[in-house]
Amino acid sequence: MVKLNINPLVIGLWGLFFLLITSPPFNVSAETERLVDQAQLLSEEDKAYLLEQIEATHSEVEADVVVLTTRDANGLSAREYADDYYDQHDFSEDGFLFLIDMDNRQIYLSTSGKMIRYLTDERINQTLDKAAAYLPNENYREAIDTVLTDAVIYYRRGLPNQQGNQVIQDGNSFLRIFIPAVIGVISAGAVYLAIKKEYDLKKPTYHYPYQQYGTLQLISEKDTLVRSYITTRHIPKNPPSSGSSTHTSSGGHTHGGGGRSF
């Protein structure tokens, strides 16, 4: 009878090898990758710089920030491609995605969750106007950096008042209104008393019987226009909406956004 001397270390190594070849690929990070340069528009230096900016923006706005480039939109519009990519990957409800679509020759900024309210239509249009100016010279890094910078600026400014955010006043506002009002009342009272005192007649000592001896006879009557006044008032037009228009993606999620051709 032959006794086999099997090293436990060898068994462990073979077991690990079998586990590795039978397990599915471990690729969780690809689901949440925030800079995806499918179109290969960026150099390694550009990617390193933009990854730092994306992380800084993410920390500032407390929402997901995604940058995506593509040369094949799979027959979709830029808006559809941007919305679907955000929905189909493991990003949070709050965030935005900036797409450079070389297939449709468009850039598109898709917003989700709270970023719909911060990045309004007007703000998106202003941002895309600036970003699009870099594209004719293929300066994709600056275009992306512009979007990230503006997102932080608008987030710090807060929500436009027309969207219902509360305008907070400091505690001295009441005093600034109350004190001048009291002074105004006192001044008006003093002026009134002075005028009343000046025109008050002293108590008469003699009463003339004017009802007995006084007569009045009207000879003629004429109306004379002394002056006329015309009052005009400017009726302001309603200002353009400062809100965000939204739509529903193919996955049933609500998005805001806007795009530009280049």
Q: Specify the CATH number for the domain of residue 116.
A: 3.10.310.50
Q: Which residue has the tokens 């009441």?
A: 174
Our count of domains for the chain comes to: 1
Is residue 74 in a domain? yes
The percentage of the chain sitting over the pLDDT mark of 90, rounded to a whole number, equals 55
192-198 mean pLDDT: 71
- pLDDT of 161: 73
Contact 100, 110 (CB under 8 A): no
The CA-CA-CA angle for residues 113, 103, 254, to 5°, reads 15
Is residue 72 in a domain? yes
Strand partners, 35: 67
Looking at per-residue confidence, does 199 or 76 come out higher? 76
Q: At what angle do helices 121-132 and 140-157 cross, to 10 degrees?
A: 150
195-209 mean pLDDT: 62
Contact 42, 141 (CB under 8 A): yes
pLDDT tens, position by position, 163-177: 543 333 334 445 555
Is residue 2 in a domain? no
Strand partners, 181: none
- pLDDT of 190: 76
The model's pTM:
0.61
The answer to whether residue 232 scores a pLDDT higher than 80 is no
- pLDDT of 169: 38
- pLDDT of 19: 46
Task: Kindly report the average pLDDT of the chain as a whole number.
Answer: 80
In whole angstroms, what is the distance from residue 151 CA to residue 140 CA?
Answer: 17
Is residue 203 in a domain? no
What's the domain range around 151?
29-161+246-261
Is residue 92 in a domain? yes
Q: Which of 9-13, 96-100, 203-207, 245-249 has the lowest mean pLDDT?
A: 9-13
Is residue 36 in a domain? yes
Is residue 210 in a domain? no
Is residue 65 in a domain? yes
pLDDT tens, position by position, 4-16: 455 555 455 555 5
